[in-house]
């Protein structure tokens, strides 16, 4: 009888483990438990293999809409347009209308946050407002939810509209898939791309060629991840200053807290290894709860949470907000500060300090959905 009892315990444990794997797979892939069970069972319950198999089966059709969906205008010419209206940093509305074949050349040298009076008189210091604004580093960090194939092409064009509006120097992206980033490369031609992988789903960094020069890059693996997560690091120069830029998508789901904290320790360790003459900026979808940051010992010396440093402004608190964002259509309200930006200014040389932060992506595109289920973060730094 005892042997039978052990077998029952083992079966119960196995069932619990596989149920947990199905929940994680469904959360990462955006599928349901039946799909998750199918892919996991076909791949001997190996999460990474199952996810790869799922993405390979689905990604080829993501942008089929680009080739098949067309609308006819008054003159009878077929075309597919996107018109997006959104508020810029000053609060004024701008409209962008882009043909699906258009490239977005973001090499315009107008300062990202310049005032309407670009000819402002020089201050006593002899530095104009335009010069001051032009020296600011602008960063966007955004989980773009490329795993969601519904209205994918329209939402990707929505992202391009925001890039055209804000012309950030650095873009830190999470939840990319190969066809999505190929789409971006065709349109955001003034950016250099660095990817965290070329398989499954991954992170990426976009660098504005006219202002940011890539020196080298590195991918740091998380050895115990079950969700194909890693840390993408690039070393660059910006107006002569040395920067280390990092992005990551830490393990998802509430029950993956221990793995998420392991990954956060890797991030903090890498930040701490930066030389004294290098400023480090990390941005990404951390999936963190504040209690988890406390459990790993808090932020390392010299590292600041930019949202906190700017005064914990309420309008920038929740980057994952199912109360305001209807993309996932979930029956519950969840409001979390999953997306975060960390800063460690160089000890030697000019100090880099946070200047401004705002959430972006809060306007629906023409399809009636938001660019992503996450809001993006737009942040500027004084350099």
Catalytic residues: 285
- C-alpha distance across the termini of the chain, in Å: 72
Lookup: tokens for 130:
């335009």
Q: What is the DSSP letter of 318?
A: -
Quote the pLDDT of residue 361. Answer: 98
Quote the pLDDT of residue 204. Answer: 98
Q: What is the DSSP letter of 13?
A: H
Q: Does this chain's domain 2-61 share its CATH topology with 81-114+123-382? A: no
Q: Which residues pair with 304 in a beta bridge?
A: 343
Backbone φ and ψ for 295, nearest 5 degrees, come out as: -65, -30
3-state secondary structure 159-202: HHHHHHHHCCCEEEEEEECHHHHHHHHHHCCCEEEEECCCCCCE
Q: How far apart are CA 244 and CA 272, in angstroms?
A: 11
Would you kindly state where each structural domain of the chain is located, as residue ranges? 2-61, 81-114+123-382
Quote the pLDDT of residue 47. Answer: 85
What dotted CATH number matches 81-114+123-382?
3.60.10.10
Q: Which fold has domain 2-61?
A: Helicase, Ruva Protein; domain 3 (1.10.8)
Q: How far apart are CA 106 and CA 96, in angstroms?
A: 13
Quote the pLDDT of residue 298. Answer: 98
Supply the pTM of this predicted model: 0.77
Backbone φ and ψ for 126, nearest 5 degrees, come out as: 85, 5
Long-range contacts of 249-252 (CB under 8 A, 24+ apart): 249/143, 249/174, 249/175, 249/203, 249/284, 249/285, 249/287, 250/284, 250/285, 250/286, 250/287, 250/288, 251/222, 251/225, 251/226, 251/227, 251/287, 252/24, 252/27, 252/28, 252/227, 252/287
List the beta strands (DSSP E) in 184-338: 191-195, 202-208, 212-221, 230-238, 241-248, 279-285, 304-305, 320-321, 335-336
Enumerate the H helices of 59-144 as residue ranges: 65-68, 129-134
pLDDT averaged per 10 residues, the chain (length 383):
58 80 82 79 82 69 47 38 44 43 45 34 47 87 95 95 96 96 95 95 97 98 96 97 98 96 98 97 98 98 98 97 94 95 95 97 96 98 97
Q: How far apart are CA 354 and CA 356, in angstroms?
A: 6
Quote the pLDDT of residue 238. Answer: 97
């Amino acid at each position: 009888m005892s042997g039978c009892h052990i077998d029952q315990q083992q079966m119960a444990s196995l069932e619990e483990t596989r149920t947990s794997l199905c929940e994680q797979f469904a959360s990462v892939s955006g599928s349901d438990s039946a799909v998750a069970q199918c892919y996991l069972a076909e791949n001997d319950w190996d999460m990474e293999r199952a996810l790869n198999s799922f993405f390979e089966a689905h990604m080829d059709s993501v942008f089929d809409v680009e080739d098949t969906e067309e609308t006819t205008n008054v003159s009878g010419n077929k075309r597919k347009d996107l018109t997006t209206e959104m508020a810029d940093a000053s609060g004024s509305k701008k409209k962008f209308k882009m043909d699906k074949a258009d490239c977005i050349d973001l090499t315009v040298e107008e300062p990202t946050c310049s005032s309407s009076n670009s000819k402002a008189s020089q201050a006593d210091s002899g530095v104009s407002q335009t010069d001051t604004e032009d020296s600011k580093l602008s960063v966007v960090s955004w989980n773009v939810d490329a795993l969601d194939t519904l209205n994918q092409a329209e939402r990707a064009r929505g992202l391009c509209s925001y890039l055209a509006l804000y012309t950030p120097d650095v873009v830190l992206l999470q939840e990319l898939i190969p066809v999505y980033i190929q789409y971006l490369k065709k349109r955001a031609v003034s950016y250099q791309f660095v990817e965290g992988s070329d398989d499954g789903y991954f992170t990426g960094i976009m660098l504005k060629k006219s202002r940011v020069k890539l020196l080298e890059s590195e991918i740091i693996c998380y050895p115990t991840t079950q969700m194909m997560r890693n840390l993408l690091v690039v070393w660059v120069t910006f107006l002569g200053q040395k920067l280390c830029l990092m992005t990551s998508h830490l393990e998802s789901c509430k029950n993956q807290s221990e793995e998420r904290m392991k990954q956060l320790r890797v991030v903090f360790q890498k930040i701490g290894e930066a030389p004294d003459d290098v400023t480090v900026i990390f941005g990404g979808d951390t999936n963190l709860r504040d209690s988890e940051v406390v459990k790993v010992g808090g932020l390392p010396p010299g590292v600041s949470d930019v949202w906190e440093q700017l005064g914990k402004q309420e309008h920038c608190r929740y980057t994952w907000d199912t109360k305001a964002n209807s993309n996932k259509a979930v029956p519950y309200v969840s409001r979390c500060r999953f997306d975060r930006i960390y800063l460690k200014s160089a000890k030697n040389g000019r100090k880099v300090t946070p200047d401004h932060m705002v959430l972006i992506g809060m306007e629906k595109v023409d399809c009636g959905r938001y660019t992503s289920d996450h809001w993006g973060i737009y942040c500027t730094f004084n350099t």
